[in-house]
Amino acid sequence: MDKAQLMKGILEGCILKIIDQEETYGYEIVTRLQDYGFTDAKEGTLYPLLLRLEKKKLIQGVFKESPLGPKRKYYTLTQDGEMYVSRFYQVWKEVEASVESIFGGR
């Protein structure tokens, strides 16, 4: 089973939800993902996803001063991103119910 491939789409939705909760930057997103149990989440995995989400115009990034060192890129959701998060969760619940129906009947 290729866990990485399965996780990519799920991570995108979860990253968007984290950004939806508050304006944040890459390292903080990784930390939050790990706190929620995504122990494989690393900065090397996150930044390509953030770039893809920016290209899709689901998030926007702005460089801001950091109290510790160089400027950080802070992310917020766009209007399209807000709609995507809502739809992602609806689809997730449908998929979760279907998988649970199959595996729960064992």
| Local structure of 76: helix, strand or coil | strand
Q: How many domains are contained in the chain?
A: 1
Residue 102 CA, distance from chain mean position: 27
| Per-residue confidence (pLDDT) for residue 79, from 0 to 100 | 98
The pTM of this model reads 0.89
Q: Using one digit for the tens of pLDDT, what is the confidence trace for 38-66?
A: 998 899 989 999 999 999 999 999 999 98
| Tokens describing residue 3 | 């866990």
- 63: domain range? 3-104
Tell me if 75 sits within 8 A of 23, measured CB to CB: yes
| Per-residue confidence (pLDDT) for residue 31, from 0 to 100 | 97
| Per-residue confidence (pLDDT) for residue 67, from 0 to 100 | 85
Q: Using one digit for the tens of pLDDT, what is the confidence trace for 81-106?
A: 999 999 999 999 999 999 999 998 65
Give the CATH number, domain containing residue 50: 1.10.10.10
